Structure 1
Amino acid sequence: MAAVPRGASSKFNSPRPVGKWVPRTRLTEFLTAGQNWRLALIHALAGFGKSTLAAQWMDLLAAQGRTRVWLSLDRDDNNTIWFLSHLLEAIGRAIPGFDDDLQQLLEERPDDAERYVIPALINAIDEGGDDVVVALDDWHLVTDKRTMDVVERLLDSGGTHLSFIITSRTRAGLPLGRLMVRGQLVEVDAVALRFDQQESQSFLVDINRLDLDSGDVASLHRTTEGWIAALQLVSLSLRDHREASALIERLSGGHQSIGEYLAENVLNTLDPEVLNFLLATSVPERLCAGLASALSGVQQGQAMLEQIQAQDLFLQPLDEDGDWFRYHHLFEDYLRHRLARDYPGRIKSLHLTAAHWYAENGFPSDAVDHALSAGDIDFAVEIVESRAMWLVEHSSMATLLALVGKIPAERVAGQARLQMAIAWANTLLHLAPEAQAALNRASAVMPTDKTLYDDDRFELGVESLVVQSCIDMYGDNVSRVHELDEKCFAHADRLRPWIVSVAANLSTFKKIHDGDYNLALKQQGWANTFHDQTSGPFSNVYGHCFAGLAAYALLDLQEVEHQFSLAVDLGRSHAGRHSHAARLAGAMMGQLLYERGALDKAERLLEETHELGSEGGVVDFMISTYSTLARIKELRGDTAIAADILNEGAAVADSLGLSRLTHVINLERVQLGIDTHPFDPANSPACAEGTDPLEERRPGLAETNYQILLATLIRSELASTLPAARDSGQSSTVAAARLLWQRAAAYSGPRAELHARILLAEALHHAGRQADAEETLLPALDTCCRLALVRPLLDGGPGCSELVKTISDKHRLGARTYARTPELGPFLSLLIRLDSNTAVNRGHSPARTLGGAQFGRPQQAGIAEPGLTGREQAILQLVGQGRSNREIAHELHLGINTVKWYLKNLFSSLGVDNRQDCVTEARRRHLLDSE
């Protein structure tokens, strides 16, 4: 699964002692005495042992059965998506099987990831039942308000199973006031962190084995005021100093002067080789053997690190394997100061060396930071550019944009390849204006970009057309796709597979809406080779969905189910169940399940896709989501929710300029009887134009839009006029319906013909032409029976329902005309039973379910929902808001065990076994409002 670049293992391990630690028993006892703390804040300036205390306390908490999670922060965690990714990874290391799907949400919903990730994280920890303590080390490095808000929300709403230990040089960025009022805050400051005299004695004499009497220790403690970093420096200076008391007496002044004096004395006593190693390796925030060797020129980097560690030169291990290290912050500052003073010319080259090492070893963010520190912006651009399309293909668009954000905008603007990658990222995030701007910049600089060769320019030219066509496709425009045949597919062997894969999907999309369904399927068969060579799921998922759409138009439902299933499985396996790709595929599968009558499964899939909103893919996916989900809600008896869904779809269509989606929404409003804006054919140019059914097919989407508008006109007229007498003759509505049927049959394939035929039968029945209506409907009945499709007939209208009952009666009586399909009788009975259940649901029991009926497995009658008490309903609402058991108990003034008892009853009543399924099922039954 693709995700934000994973943090080095050192980020997730607490510091370990080089030799022995001074036990901070008095502080850990103070901290452990707090019973209800949600946050333990350890704050002081550098060198006071904040991280050491946190690590000791975490060990103690682990021994008490709590799950410990450690995260060392750096400045990259000011990117909220990266912070959340690192936090999830840290928790996942401590809790095997933690929900990895959340990582993909960070990439695909970067603008509002908190809405989905934080509640899921809180609930997962709450439902796990284990007490989890998260240590955030060096919180002062985080200055971004959005990241601060994330931690604030976790502290406020994390529940009783989640608590934090935070080390920082300041108290900023945390909701300390609220936590203090609630009694959920414990603090350890610089005064408490200082060694007392006994701890100073233990450190200097017992651990460092210095030959000091009690007076010397007391003097040192008094002079350093228990400042741990100063005592560490003193211990090094005193090792080989024969007159310890004389040295101690000379130490005076503030901590800074003591530290500088001692650091100079420590550094000046080292071998030149060791000193050079220390200075060269002080540049990065963390070290490993390979990086240390690259910076220092010492081949045995690991041996040198271990030697320095053995000499107690303030080198701290960051993981249990001893692979990563860091210098004590204070000592690191002195090393960097000495490097800048004595060897200012080396700093740039060391940063560049670090940048190259990080880039070559898969740490692009660190690489960019060091390249920028070296002032080599071109190399920073090169690093991001070399990684950019890999990130795009792995659906890591947010990571790419964050890396780009580190580089000055004016230096990014002139890079054609990088601008193209930025265009891709924004296109896949459905940010059309940003995508178009990046694409325009790429096209503008392509001729003058000196880093490009002729082959590069050729590929980028084709890629530009593909990206533009992709932006257009999301806007329901396929006007440029025809150019791909000559400019892309004819040169497929010269292009990256990703370009050809996406281009094939674009061409397939156009062929579908040109009515060339067999060619669309053939195109996808050809494209499979290129789909398989892309590393991410996006293009392949789209390919399967489009192949399914083409097969759907041909009513090859076996192929439809195969393609949609492949799309869903691929999206879930490669990107996660909640990923963008999986949800888009779910929209298409939901449409098929709906038409087969499996409403429960369809509703669950469509609800997931509905959460994507304006990022719900191409218009066909949005139609499946808004139109089909609204129908299901109306069938449940909740017309208000159905109307809200359609209104939301109309708003999305208006904001994105998607006229086809607007037309479908209007059609659904009319068909569901919730139309607040009656259809006016005079306002429809498509319907006002010629009505000759023999005229040529309108190009592309124009034909589709024409047929949608024509269907809306017919439905509107049927809804606004009373049924005519049997002998009233052919009405204008029948003429329009026949025109729609003829055009659908001629230009739009078997599925469109099926739906148009059902509408024609409805119009004929409405006009009183019963025999013609029955004759028209019979082929549709045969087709739906053969393919186990129930909803096209059940959604046909009241006339269609009467026709089904009439034909069923005649079939039962053995009428020759109606006995040609043996399975038709049971199928008609199923339709009548389902139609009856629908009427009950609409009229009397909105919460009753239609279930998942399929032909051959008749659906049972709807079952009334279990009655909920007022207390159960209140608890259910709070569960839906993502509250923990403890928060629910506090708000409702109940005991925690009482809340658990109510939850157990709720789970039993709804037939679920966890909170997430409880909320999903409750929303499906309309016991909770939709998100």
Structure 2
Amino acid sequence: MDTKARPTLAVSTKFQAPTYDTQLVGRDRLLDVLRDGRARRLALIHAPAGFGKTTLAVQWQRVLRAEGVPVAWLSLDRDDNDAVWFLSHLIEAVRRVEPTLGGDLVEVLEGHSDDAQRYVLTELVNQLAEHRRPLAIVLDDWHLIDAPQAVAALEFLLEAGPANLHLIVTSRTRSPAVGRLKVRNQVTEIDATQLRFDHRESAAFLLELNELDLDSTDVHRLWSSTDGWVAALQLATLSLRDSADPSALIRGFSGRHHSLGDYLAENVFDALPADLLDFLLTTSVCDRLCGDLAAAVSGQRRGQALLEELERRDLFLRPLDDNREWFRYHHLFVGYLRRRLERDHADRVVTLHRTASAWFADHGLLGEAVTHALAAGNDAGAVDLVERQAMHLVEHSRMAVLLSLVNKLPSALLPGRSRLQIAIAWANCLLQRAQPAQVALDHVRAALTPDDTSDTGKDILGEADVVQACIDVYGDRIYRAADLIAPYIAKNSGYRPWLVAVSSNIRTFVDIHTFAYDTAQARQRWANAFHDTTRGPFAGVYGRCFAGLAAFAQLDLVTAERLYREAVALAREAAGPRSHAARLAGALLGRLYYERGDIDAAERLLEECHELGAESGVADLMIATYSTLARIKTLRGEIEDVWHLLDEGSEAASQLVLPRLSAAVDHERLRLHLARGDLGRAQNVLARQSDDVARGGDGIAMATRHYQLAMRARVMAAQADYDGALRLLSQMHQESSSVAWRYAETATRIDLAVVHSLTGDTDTALRTLVPAVVAGARCGLVRTVTDAGPELLKIIGELRDASRCRRWPVELPTVPSDYLSKLLATAHADAERAAIPIIDRPAERNPAPEEPLNAREIDILRLLDRGLSNKEIARNLGLTINTVKWYLKSIYTKLGVARRGESVSEARRRRILA
């Protein structure tokens, strides 16, 4: 598709203050009010139209900039009622004045709008706080925003924003709500009474700025009759310039400013040339104008020249950029123009909106094209516009944009639009919204019956099968997926690359979970040609991730790492470092880094994936995030965070109906309870699991069953029922071996060795373990071995000693001693801060000497004692939330505790707190 025609969210004029070439009346008294409130969070300027709200905001912007404060500007419109668009525009506004802020947060919103909004706001606040230098943001025309999520976003900034953030909001209403801010003295409020020109400002406007020949009586009368209303004074000025008797006109004007439309028609419009008046009326249908658009709508070729003529005449036209390319009429003025257009030329309105819609569509400005089509009553045309661009948006990972546009359309026209419904199904499916995706597919099938013999109908119905298979895969179901997508991966199928690529990925997922690992990797090598010709990164990223999963299952970690790295690089290059696609690949690469023992690199990737919404992608990616990150936090000693994380994983599993994820999360929870010696809580976790063990021979059922059986075996071992534990683990090992699932086979062999060791049968434990560590040494497994617990590491130590002393059993394959040493070194490094015993039992550890807390840590402890949250502590101390978390980790370590309440109790015991 031609780049020019690609739909965009916004043009640069949204992020620039209106340009005023003419001198402005200085609002010194109001600027002094704003200066006095400079340290406050919010400056709220509110009044009806025509009182100079935006003009005052522009003057305050200039003052701040002169003092070296960057000022981001965002001109709002109705489309910003969509929270994703509002946040995207807000971030872009900030980036334009401070490029180091905001990063790639827009891509985060595009990829997963529901889960990412909270993260994006929090991250923006944290970045602003860490930036430390002052920053101001102007939100012009806030009264246009009334959607709850968008309003909540601003309220979050007002509530949680750092001290260096100054928000300036202009609005026709007294919103946002400022009650709590006023109580905390965090708002400066300027209303219509203050915005009215006083006598001095009125005189300056009339005599100095507009050079009118008026005496003091005329000035006073005009000021009194308009009550200082800026718009009325400007209208009067337009008439007075050519008046032979200004005093008489002023007397006639007195009291009429409330009938603005009549006055404007009588004293301004009627004096204009007919072509200029027609130009004003016809172009008023547009919220913003450029020369080419104005020419198209008005039918007058001199569009740019006429805009400049209107500006020269001061007819309420303001440039929106320094290049004077884009303009807009004053809100009050455009309202009258539109009313007069409806009154005098109602028959032209539809045509004008249709023309504007066509112009915006031709220039790739899809949102405005849709708005004008709807205003023209061309609802079907609006649907056509979105339908034509819908799959382009999906394939470029702009699902949130598509769904926002769909929300603008008349819902009654959508069910029968099969092509649009397919795109809607894709968007919802990729955003893990199974129910609305299924509804969209139902609409497709209702609109196109199986009897439809047209090529288009068959193609769309076939594509519906692919989407259905994709929904199934996201729901961890594979029983029909292969059949649904079979036509698309047939040799020389002739379908477009996107469908072939996605279908190949779905079939690869089925291959993995039917243990056809070689087939899975071969299929992806075949599919690369289709991935390379698709227009977005999703298919290629998923393909490499799935091929990597197949390699990992076979213990080919080198190939898995290469594929995961390729997936991350592709996603970051094509969609952005924090895009949905990058997070998917990052979760698996983080899991692999963890397995290799690179905890820091793993934590960075997995934290990013978690913060941006871990409940996305297929279940394998979610398990990689929740389970692996829980283990990392356990090793960091952050036990409270571990519980929160596992609770979140359980909630995601419940909402998305993913038994495999639920079992994986509970397995981590039970494992941690047992490691901490809490058998009772471990039994409670086991009791929550269904009595029915998952049945079925596919990999999904087997993995779910193995998590369930492993939990039972762990509890049995803790209760000294070693025979029962060995029976369950042997079943798991046999099942894994029979399908050549090498990773699971190795992991269960390690678990068997642990139980044999607990029985005292060291010889069997060694013979069971050695083949596993041989495989681990060959492929680079680290954490799977070290995470098995102190019993296993004792055996590893004995093997390392035997290897060094040349006492290795001749009947067993040898294991490189440096690999065994690496395992032990990793375990010893973990043991210092881990929340579970790694090498020794807790009682065998030497107590650490008490380390004194610094002044900042004591401040935080006192706030903890008051019950404040991390956010409230950050606000009180002027820190970022991440900094507070860093201090809490230090406090926990120094006090030897794991929870907030424990830290307060320990501080009291040590008499740090009174």
TM-score, normalised by the number of residues in structure 1: 0.86
Give the C-alpha shift of residue 869 in structure 1.
3.8
Q: Take 1:713 and 1:434, find their aligned partners in 2: how far apart are those partners?
A: 38
Q: Take 2:307 and 2:34, find their aligned partners in 1: how far apart are those partners?
A: 34
Q: Take 2:404 and 2:412, find their aligned partners in 1: how far apart are those partners?
A: 16
1:807 equivalent to 2:780? Answer no
Change beyond 3 A, Cα 1:660–1:140 = closer
Secondary structure in structure 1 of the residue aligned to 2:740: helix
Tell me, yes or no, if the aligned pair for 1:508 and 1:546 is still in contact at 8 Å.
yes
Tell me, yes or no, if the aligned pair for 1:758 and 1:777 is still in contact at 8 Å.
yes
**1:71 alignment partner in structure 2:** 74
Identity %: 44
**2:743 alignment partner in structure 1:** 751
Matches within 5 A, 1:790-805: 790-796=782-788, 800-805=792-797
Change beyond 3 A, Cα 1:410–1:873 = farther
Q: Take 1:846 and 1:807, find their aligned partners in 2: how far apart are those partners?
A: 18
Q: Take 2:796 and 2:336, find their aligned partners in 1: how far apart are those partners?
A: 88
Q: Take 2:839 and 2:456, find their aligned partners in 1: how far apart are those partners?
A: 60
Secondary structure in structure 2 of the residue aligned to 1:368: helix
2:558 corresponds to which letter in structure 1? Q
Give the C-alpha shift of residue 144 in structure 1.
2.6
**1:892 alignment partner in structure 2:** none
Query: What does the per-residue CA deviation read over 1:384-417, in whole Å, with 9 as the maximum and x for residues that have no partner?
Result: 2122222222322222222111122211122111
1:676 equivalent to 2:683? Answer yes
Tell me, yes or no, if the aligned pair for 2:82 and 2:147 is still in contact at 8 Å.
yes
Tell me, yes or no, if the aligned pair for 1:429 and 1:615 is still in contact at 8 Å.
no
**1:284 alignment partner in structure 2:** 286
Q: Take 1:638 and 1:313, find their aligned partners in 2: how far apart are those partners?
A: 64
Matches within 5 A, 1:153-302: 153-175=156-178, 177-257=179-259, 260-302=262-304
2:406 corresponds to which letter in structure 1? V
**2:87 alignment partner in structure 1:** 84
Secondary structure in structure 1 of the residue aligned to 2:300: coil
**2:618 alignment partner in structure 1:** 618
Q: Take 1:42 and 1:683, find their aligned partners in 2: how far apart are those partners?
A: 59
Query: What does the per-residue CA deviation read over 1:650-672, in whole Å, with 9 as the maximum and x for residues that have no partner?
Result: 44334433222344345445544
Tell me, yes or no, if the aligned pair for 1:423 and 1:438 is still in contact at 8 Å.
yes
Query: What does the per-residue CA deviation read over 1:203-260, in whole Å, with 9 as the maximum and x for residues that have no partner?
Result: 3333333333444333333333332222222222233332333323322333133552
1:62 corresponds to which letter in structure 2? R
Give the C-alpha shift of residue 561 in structure 1.
1.0
Give the C-alpha shift of residue 59 in structure 1.
0.9
Tell me, yes or no, if the aligned pair for 2:9 and 2:367 is still in contact at 8 Å.
no
Tell me, yes or no, if the aligned pair for 2:487 and 2:493 is still in contact at 8 Å.
no
Tell me, yes or no, if the aligned pair for 1:43 and 1:188 is still in contact at 8 Å.
yes
Q: Take 2:98 and 2:227, find their aligned partners in 1: how far apart are those partners?
A: 41
Tell me, yes or no, if the aligned pair for 1:294 and 1:357 is still in contact at 8 Å.
yes
**1:568 alignment partner in structure 2:** 568
**1:783 alignment partner in structure 2:** 775
Tell me, yes or no, if the aligned pair for 2:615 and 2:652 is still in contact at 8 Å.
no
1:881 equivalent to 2:835? Answer no
Q: Take 1:251 and 1:510, find their aligned partners in 2: how far apart are those partners?
A: 79
511-520 vs 361-370, greater mean Cα deviation:
361-370
**1:459 alignment partner in structure 2:** 459
**2:437 alignment partner in structure 1:** 435
1:339 equivalent to 2:346? Answer no
Q: Take 1:329 and 1:683, find their aligned partners in 2: how far apart are those partners?
A: 63
Give the C-alpha shift of residue 453 in structure 1.
9.1
Matches within 5 A, 1:652-731: 652-669=652-669, 671-672=671-672, 673=674, 675-677=682-684, 698-721=697-720
Give the C-alpha shift of residue 548 in structure 1.
0.8
Tell me, yes or no, if the aligned pair for 1:4 and 1:103 is still in contact at 8 Å.
no
2:81 corresponds to which letter in structure 1? N
Give the C-alpha shift of residue 613 in structure 1.
6.0
Secondary structure in structure 2 of the residue aligned to 1:212: coil
TM-score, normalised by the number of residues in structure 2: 0.87
Query: What does the per-residue CA deviation read over 1:147-192, in whole Å, with 9 as the maximum and x for residues that have no partner?
Result: 33322332233232111222222223331x3333333333333333
Q: Take 1:604 and 1:917, find their aligned partners in 2: how far apart are those partners?
A: 16
Give the C-alpha shift of residue 709 in structure 1.
4.7
Secondary structure in structure 1 of the residue aligned to 2:535: coil
Q: Take 1:305 and 1:865, find their aligned partners in 2: how far apart are those partners?
A: 75
Change beyond 3 A, Cα 1:766–1:680 = farther
**1:9 alignment partner in structure 2:** 12
Query: What does the per-residue CA deviation read over 1:867-912, in whole Å, with 9 as the maximum and x for residues that have no partner?
Result: 5347416449899835697x324xxxxxxxxx7xxx7xxxxxxxxx
Change beyond 3 A, Cα 1:39–1:486 = closer
Matches within 5 A, 1:359-398: 359-398=361-400
Q: Take 1:394 and 1:103, find their aligned partners in 2: how far apart are those partners?
A: 14
Tell me, yes or no, if the aligned pair for 1:667 and 1:708 is still in contact at 8 Å.
yes
Give the C-alpha shift of residue 528 in structure 1.
1.8
In structure 2, runs of 5+ residues without a counterpart are 841-845, 901-914
Q: Take 1:634 and 1:226, find their aligned partners in 2: how far apart are those partners?
A: 66
**1:352 alignment partner in structure 2:** 354
Tell me, yes or no, if the aligned pair for 2:789 and 2:837 is still in contact at 8 Å.
no
Change beyond 3 A, Cα 1:231–1:576 = same
Change beyond 3 A, Cα 1:649–1:249 = closer
Change beyond 3 A, Cα 1:806–1:747 = same
2:321 corresponds to which letter in structure 1? D
Secondary structure in structure 2 of the residue aligned to 1:555: coil
Tell me, yes or no, if the aligned pair for 1:251 and 1:258 is still in contact at 8 Å.
no
Change beyond 3 A, Cα 1:210–1:457 = same
Secondary structure in structure 1 of the residue aligned to 2:289: coil
Change beyond 3 A, Cα 1:283–1:698 = same
1:872 equivalent to 2:874? Answer no
**2:104 alignment partner in structure 1:** 101
Query: What does the per-residue CA deviation read over 1:701-744, in whole Å, with 9 as the maximum and x for residues that have no partner?
Result: 34444555554554444333266xxxxxxx67556544543432
Secondary structure in structure 2 of the residue aligned to 1:482: helix
1:31 equivalent to 2:34? Answer yes
839-848 vs 414-423, greater mean Cα deviation:
839-848
Give the C-alpha shift of residue 319 in structure 1.
1.1
Q: Take 2:769 and 2:512, find their aligned partners in 1: how far apart are those partners?
A: 26
Give the C-alpha shift of residue 497 in structure 1.
2.5
Q: Take 1:183 and 1:642, find their aligned partners in 2: how far apart are those partners?
A: 38
1:23 corresponds to which letter in structure 2? G
Tell me, yes or no, if the aligned pair for 2:639 and 2:835 is still in contact at 8 Å.
no
19-28 vs 85-94, greater mean Cα deviation:
19-28
Q: Take 1:683 and 1:164, find their aligned partners in 2: how far apart are those partners?
A: 52
Tell me, yes or no, if the aligned pair for 2:870 and 2:885 is still in contact at 8 Å.
no
**2:904 alignment partner in structure 1:** none
**2:481 alignment partner in structure 1:** 481
Give the C-alpha shift of residue 57 in structure 1.
2.1
Q: Take 2:446 and 2:889, find their aligned partners in 1: how far apart are those partners?
A: 50
Q: Take 1:69 and 1:267, find their aligned partners in 2: how far apart are those partners?
A: 36
Change beyond 3 A, Cα 1:921–1:516 = farther
Q: Take 2:830 and 2:204, find their aligned partners in 1: how far apart are those partners?
A: 80
Q: Take 1:120 and 1:865, find their aligned partners in 2: how far apart are those partners?
A: 35
Tell me, yes or no, if the aligned pair for 2:634 and 2:835 is still in contact at 8 Å.
no
